């Protein structure tokens, strides 16, 4: 047989290509599998920054189709006569708070409670309330219809209001949701109910809730408003895991409300959030 060197070279080359082809096919298979299990890319804005919104949402607060976090909010308002000079401003703040929460979390549930003093027109508990609901318009109507009156002496049965406001049975709190109370008032607790009010606030906080307080600064007497916090109201907020603010300290209140309900990542943008969902700060 005649020896052909070129034929031998071709056979050698073919033998060398077989394992190389196998390696290439294996690498291709690995790449295909990696593409199938790769997590989705993080959404980014025009500047390339991640656009992360509330828990479970990557669209940012208030975006179209944004379900937002699960939030339960109860608004508590002193409706006694000493609140008359501040009632409309207080109600406007509560309505604005409802608007901010609903804007950031359209699935939020909201409730409201008004309290007066014993012997007034609110019955034996001195309270009227509407439990947590997603019917925000019904809660706005409840707030709009609150009228200041009664409360002959200065202290009020705030413990009665907190007993209902913090009650899962009466108010309908959902333990799986973020739970926030905003209490607006100007008076101290009845001495007989002071310890109970503190205990109720502390128990609510221990269970994961937060109580923030707006002190209108009323004194129950003609004259200028107080410039310091009423001690009972400040203590209720502190024991309730929140903070107390004077009515005219709007920026600090909004920061605290937004952080309480939605987390610290929104604190820096609180002014823009309020402007978007509540309009001009009341």
Where does the pLDDT of residue 25 fall: very low under 50, low under 70, confident under 90, or very high at 90 and above?
Answer: very low
Where does the pLDDT of residue 14 fall: very low under 50, low under 70, confident under 90, or very high at 90 and above?
Answer: very low
Torsion of CA 232, 237, 243, 249, to 10 degrees: -50
Burial class (CB in 10 A: 0-12, 13-18, 19+), 191: exposed
Helix (H) or strand (E) holding 210: strand 210-215
Pairing of the two strands 71-78 and 178-185: parallel
pLDDT over threshold 60, residue 227: yes
Where does the pLDDT of residue 224 fall: very low under 50, low under 70, confident under 90, or very high at 90 and above?
Answer: confident
pLDDT tens-place string over residues 61-75: 444 344 557 999 999
Where does the pLDDT of residue 220 fall: very low under 50, low under 70, confident under 90, or very high at 90 and above?
Answer: low
How far, in Å, CA of 62 to CA of 71, rounded? 14
How far, in Å, CA of 152 to CA of 240, rounded? 28
Confirm if 71 and 108 have CB atoms less than 8 A apart: yes
This prediction has a pTM of 0.75
Query: Minimal CA–CA distance to 242: which of 219, 226, 258?
Result: 258
**Terminal-residue alpha carbon distance, the chain:** 105
Which two tokens mark 261?
């309900």
Q: What is the pLDDT of residue 173?
A: 98
- Lowest-confidence region among 27-31, 79-83, 210-214, 252-256: 27-31
Mean pLDDT of all residues belonging to the chain: 80
pLDDT over threshold 90, residue 138: yes
Q: What is the pLDDT of residue 42?
A: 38
Q: What is the pLDDT of residue 147?
A: 93
pLDDT tens-place string over residues 236-279: 999 999 999 999 898 889 999 999 888 888 888 888 988 888 77
pLDDT over threshold 60, residue 100: yes
Q: What is the pLDDT of residue 201?
A: 98
Where does the pLDDT of residue 115 fall: very low under 50, low under 70, confident under 90, or very high at 90 and above?
Answer: very high
Pairing of the two strands 127-133 and 109-115: antiparallel
Confirm if 94 and 77 have CB atoms less than 8 A apart: yes
Q: What is the pLDDT of residue 56?
A: 31
Where does the pLDDT of residue 88 fall: very low under 50, low under 70, confident under 90, or very high at 90 and above?
Answer: very high
Is pLDDT larger for residue 168 or for residue 250? Answer: 168
What lies within 8 Å, CB to CB, of 56 at 6+ separation is: 67, 69
Confirm if 114 and 79 have CB atoms less than 8 A apart: yes
Q: What is the pLDDT of residue 41?
A: 41
Q: What is the mean pLDDT of residues 7-34?
A: 45
* SS3 of residue 199 by DSSP: helix
Which two tokens mark 189?
């607790």
Kindly state the DSSP code that residue 243 receives in the 8-state scheme.
Answer: -
Beta-bridge mates of residue 214: 184, 245
């Amino acid at each position: 047989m005649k020896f052909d060197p070129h034929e031998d070279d071709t056979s050698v080359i073919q033998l060398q290509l077989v394992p190389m082809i196998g390696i290439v096919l294996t690498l291709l298979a690995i790449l295909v599998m990696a593409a199938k299990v790769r997590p989705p890319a993080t959404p980014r804005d025009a500047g390339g920054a991640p656009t992360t919104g509330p828990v479970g949402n990557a669209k940012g607060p208030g975006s179209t189709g944004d379900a937002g976090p699960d939030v339960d909010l109860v608004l508590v308002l002193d409706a006694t006569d000493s609140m008359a000079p501040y009632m409309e401003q207080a109600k406007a703040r509560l309505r604005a708070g409802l608007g901010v929460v609903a804007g950031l979390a359209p699935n939020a549930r909201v409730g409201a409670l008004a309290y007066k003093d014993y012997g007034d027109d609110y019955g034996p508990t001195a309270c009227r309330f509407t439990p947590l609901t997603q019917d925000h318009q019904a809660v706005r109507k409840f707030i709009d219809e609150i009228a200041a009156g009664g409360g002959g002496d200065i202290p009020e049965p705030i413990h009665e209001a907190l007993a209902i406001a913090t009650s899962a049975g009466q108010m309908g709190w959902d333990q799986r949701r973020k739970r926030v109370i905003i209490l607006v008032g100007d008076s101290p607790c009845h001495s007989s109910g002071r310890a109970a009010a503190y205990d109720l606030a502390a128990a609510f906080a221990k269970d994961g809730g937060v109580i923030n307080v707006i002190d209108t600064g009323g004194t129950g007497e003609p004259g200028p408003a107080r410039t310091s916090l009423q001690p009972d109201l400040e203590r209720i907020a502190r024991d309730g895991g929140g903070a107390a603010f004077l009515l005219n300290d709007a920026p600090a209140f909004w920061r605290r409300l937004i952080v309480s309900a939605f987390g610290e990542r929104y604190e820096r943008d609180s002014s823009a959030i309020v402007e978007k969902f509540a309009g001009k700060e009341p």
